[in-house]
Amino acid sequence: MNLTLIDWLIVLVCTLLLLFGGRISRKLVRSVADFLSAGRSAGRYMMTVSYGMAAFGAITIVGQWEVNYVAGFSVRWWEFTMAVVLLAMTASGWVIYRFRQTRALTIAQFLEIRYSRSFRIFAGILAFISGILNFGIFPAVSARFIIYFCGIPLYFSLAGITVSTYPVVMAVFLLISLYFVFTGGQIAVIITEFVLGIFSNFTFLVMIVFGLLFVNWDQIFQALSTAPKDASLINPYKTGKVHDFNFWFFLINIIGIAYGKLSWQGSQGYNSSAKSAHEAKMGEVLGNLRSIPRYLFLVFIPIIAYTILHHPNFIGIANNVNATLSTIGSTTIQNQLRIPLVLSKILPVGVMGSFMAVMLMATIGTNNSYMHSWGSIFIQDVIMPFRKNPFTPEQHLKILRISVTGVTIFIFLFSLLFPMTDYIMLYFAITAAIFVGGSGAVIIGGLYWKRGTTAAAWSALITGSVISVAGIVLQQIIPHFPINGQYCWAIAMGASSLVYIIVSLLGKRQSFNMDKMLHRGQYEIKDESIVVNKAPQRGLKILGMGKEFTKGDKFIYWATYSWTFLWVVVFVIGTVCNLSYDVPDSSWMLFWKDFVIINLAASFIVMVWFTIGGIKDCRDMLSRLKTMVRDHSDDGTVKEEISNKEEVSKDELTLQPENISEKVRSEEEKSEEAKEI
């Protein structure tokens, strides 16, 4: 075993903290909206910290390490350009602001409101299939990490029978995750992810500092210089022969982030958990700063591992790691375990336990979010639209828990039987694209374009899924198929967007009542009108700051803008220099050294700031959940919707949900507020 008693005590304490959080949340779930969306009670810091960890499980860490081990420091250079896109999205409240205005509990509920019930069902089924296939490898990757990092024997004897440790570890962590989802739903998910987010940031910073002390910059430079000339880990302008994780990989990522906003439903509970649209938007803005310690950790730790495995000063550790890897037949699994094995050989007592606790909580936390999301989506978006009579609140909560259990059983069996043959991130891209490839066009068009039609939505979603499924099949039957998962995703996005626009323009000219769907103008909700329905005003409008912004909100915006544009300026200057003359690798290494130090200092500030803000938000959320009055009709069912109150007939008062999308259309957007937004 690689962990000492002190390390295991740290793991135990962290696990008990998670259990305590689950116990607190159990008493607060009093309605379906509580289970699905934490009663819409989360503040900005709770949202940004928790949401940031929901998609940052052990499998994400391992997958990003695979990418950064291949691409090195160069990966961060191209991600500087991504910061501009992220900032523009968060400043404008891109997609998230309008979705929160709809008050839909899931994306598919919004799709029924905007398009039709039958389309909601189809989208729900497609999202569910895409999601559980994507989720299916999570338990396997997490279990392998824990076994090899901790040095747990691969087999053990039970009553004279030899039992594989692998499925046992998977089952244990899935059962723990199932407990959290059963007890507190989305409330438990947010609380546990917040605890994990704060603790993980602290652990990441400690590990980065340790790495800087364990190896020096000369050793890093010497090791990284062993990479092929056109696959540089130092100079991003000399990466022409980097396979898979090159410039095009990151360009597609940048486009996909904007296109697929809210499309991926693995953490869909967060989409509607904020206490207002403004808080959801501010949580997104803070997310640009939240990621500083995480990105630094994901890039720098693989650099440390690469140095140890390629520098002669660490030949003993390298031989030990390579000997273990040689016992693993699959190259894919070797890629996943290389960095964890290095860390297991170098981390000191206490840090080993802290990192193991992070990975354990990350495994549980991501399982929480995904089990909750896919189980909820199956009931809310596949089962409920078929029912003529709604569930009672008690029945609804019971059937949600049964669905979550079914998802858990499926992913256990899938992980046990499915052979991994590709990088984690490429597998993610192609399985997610089954839904995300077409849903981006459908969601963006539905929220921002009143001319988008139901026929266009069907066409776009089918186009994206067909392209993605075809890519999966071709990769299996054609050896060395030249189009990887990332390229399939790009093709699906482009084709689906084009199809959505063409079909909408060729269809019958009609306008959808956006005010009704977004609760604006005469349809506004008084309790949320201050923060939900105020459009950004002139002057600072271009920066996304309106009348609802306090001085603190504006400070957050300016801090985010300043940080982002700092690195954009660096990117521009660096590009000009590299186009003007050949910048030597030694100069690049000086830059990367300064980059690490600056980001490390910023990470400490972010950690303290978000911890204080998150604790305050947590107290406020718990207080709101204890005292708020529940509306048990708020269960994700689309109610009767009427587009124009002055022109409604008696027959229209008996509208069925499947006819909503046709009846809520109006001729013009009359609200000045709608025009500004």
- SS3 at position 392: coil
Lowest mean pLDDT among 134-138, 264-268, 603-607: 264-268
What is the spatial distance between Cα 189 and Cα 179, in angstroms, rounded to a whole number? 11
Residue 412, Cβ neighbours under 10 Å: how many?
A: 18
Which domains, and CATH codes, for the chain?
Answer: 5-638 (1.20.1730.10)
Q: What is the pLDDT of residue 161?
A: 86
pLDDT at 666 over 50: no
What is the spatial distance between Cα 482 and Cα 449, in angstroms, rounded to a whole number? 36
Q: What percentage of residues in the chain have a pLDDT greater than 90?
A: 21
Cα dihedral 261, 407, 32, 368 sign? negative
| Helix runs in 347-448, H state only | 351-377, 393-417, 424-448
Mean pLDDT of all residues in 78-94: 73
Cα dihedral 92, 196, 338, 137 sign? negative
Q: Greater confidence, 432 or 119?
A: 119
Residue 510, Cβ neighbours under 10 Å: how many?
A: 14
Q: What is the pLDDT of residue 128?
A: 86
pLDDT at 656 over 50: no
pLDDT at 653 over 70: no
Query: Which string of DSSP letters, residue by residue, matches 4-26?
Result: -HHHHHHHHHHHHHHHHHHHHHH
Token pair 């890519």: residue: 471
What is the spatial distance between Cα 486 and Cα 468, in angstroms, rounded to a whole number? 10
φ, ψ at 274 (rounded to 5°): -70, 150
User: Can you give the C-alpha Rg of the chain in angstroms?
Assistant: 25
Amino acid symbol at 398: K
Surface-to-core class of residue 383, CB atoms within 10 Å of its CB (0-12 exposed, 13-18 middle, 19+ buried): middle
What is the spatial distance between Cα 501 and Cα 538, in angstroms, rounded to a whole number? 30
Lowest mean pLDDT among 10-19, 37-46, 170-179, 371-380: 37-46
What is the spatial distance between Cα 370 and Cα 397, in angstroms, rounded to a whole number? 17
pLDDT at 133 over 60: yes
Q: CA dihedral defined by 220, 223, 224, 226, rounded to 10 degrees?
A: 160
CB–CB of 369/269 below 8 Å? Answer: yes
Q: What is the pLDDT of residue 347?
A: 92
Mean pLDDT of all residues in 303-319: 93
Q: What is the pLDDT of residue 417?
A: 86
What is the spatial distance between Cα 109 and Cα 567, in angstroms, rounded to a whole number? 39
| Helix runs in 260-327, H state only | 277-310, 315-326
What is the spatial distance between Cα 401 and Cα 391, in angstroms, rounded to a whole number? 14
Q: CA dihedral defined by 204, 206, 212, 214, rounded to 10 degrees?
A: -110
pLDDT at 463 over 80: yes
If you average pLDDT over every residue of the chain, what do you get? 80
What is the spatial distance between Cα 626 and Cα 60, in angstroms, rounded to a whole number? 34
Query: What would the pLDDT profile of 10-53 be if each residue is shown by its tens digit?
Result: 989 888 877 776 677 777 777 767 676 677 777 788 778 877 77
CB–CB of 167/160 below 8 Å? Answer: no
CB–CB of 632/393 below 8 Å? Answer: yes
Structure confidence at residue 58 as a pLDDT band (50, 70, 90): confident
What is the spatial distance between Cα 542 and Cα 179, in angstroms, rounded to a whole number? 46
What is the spatial distance between Cα 317 and Cα 328, in angstroms, rounded to a whole number? 18
Residue 206: HSE in the Cβ half-sphere, 13 Å Cα cutoff: 16
CB–CB of 381/120 below 8 Å? Answer: yes
Structure confidence at residue 297 as a pLDDT band (50, 70, 90): very high
- Give a three-class secondary structure readout of 557-601: HHHHHHHHHHHHHHHHHHHHHHHHCCCCHHHHHHHHHHHHHHHHH
Reference 427, options 415, 438, 416; nearest CA is: 415
Query: What would the pLDDT profile of 510-532 be if each residue is shown by its tens digit?
Result: 788 888 888 777 777 665 544 43
Structure confidence at residue 219 as a pLDDT band (50, 70, 90): very high
Residue 186: HSE in the Cβ half-sphere, 13 Å Cα cutoff: 35
CB–CB of 272/40 below 8 Å? Answer: yes
CB–CB of 614/46 below 8 Å? Answer: yes
